[in-house]
Amino acid sequence: MTRDAGLEELIREELGDRAGLSEKAMFGGWAYLLHGNLLLGAREGSLLVRLGKGNDGWALALPDIELMVMNGRSMHGWVRAGADAYGDDALRKRLLDGAITFVETLPPK
């Protein structure tokens, strides 16, 4: 998969100039980290969101959002949102806010 410049710009606009935020290439796409902890990942047609174990049920109940699976292993606490989900401004904001809320509970790296 390739990077998605449009999705990356939407994420940057939403996250703003938050302290501790950084970006780097990862997983064949672009990753967003908060105080060194992975927050989000973006690539063509897909937004990876870190909500934390037990915090992802609400998102998984929505269309075009599924549990993240990497190398056949379910990654509980992580969801993958497709274009229909992350293309909805209110839902994308809710997903990003959920990720920030969880990742802010983690110790900085």
Write the single-letter amino acid at 11: I
Q: Does residue 1 register a pLDDT over 70?
A: no
pLDDT of 66 > 70? The answer is: yes
DSSP conformation class of 103 = H
Per this entry, what is the length of the chain? 109
The pair of three-digit structure tokens given for residue 82, joined into one six-digit string: 């497709």
Q: How far is CA 63 from the centre of its chain?
A: 16
**What percent of the chain is predicted at pLDDT more than 90?**
93
Answer yes or no: are the C-beta atoms of 27 and 59 closer than 8 Å: no
pLDDT for residue 76 is more than 90 = yes
Tell me the pLDDT tens digit for each residue of 14-44.
999 999 999 999 878 999 999 999 999 999 9
Q: Tell me the three state secondary structure of residue 97.
A: helix
